[in-house]
Amino acid sequence: MAEERKCKNPSCTCVPPEGQKYCSASCEGTGDTIELDCDCSHEECQGNF
């Protein structure tokens, strides 16, 4: 069974490290706030404008 591993920040498209829900502290810091712009600064992230 393939587990979808994507950052829990809805605007983020990154894959978090093993055992983590978020790819970065920046995404984790969004908490229950919904941001359209992702601040993780990963180049592959498509939520980063």
Q: Minimum Å distance from CB 44 to Zn ion? A: 8
- Residue 30 contacts Zn ion per CB under 5 A: no
Q: Minimum Å distance from CB 36 to Zn ion? A: 12
Tokens of 28: 């984790």
**DSSP code per residue over the chain:** -PPP---SSTT--PPPPTT-SSSSHHHHTTTT---SS--S--TT-TT--
- Residue 45 contacts Zn ion per CB under 5 A: yes
The identity of residue 14, as a single letter, is: C
- Residue 14 contacts Zn ion per CB under 5 A: yes
Binding site for Zn ion (CB under 5 A): 7, 9, 12, 14, 23, 27, 38, 40, 45
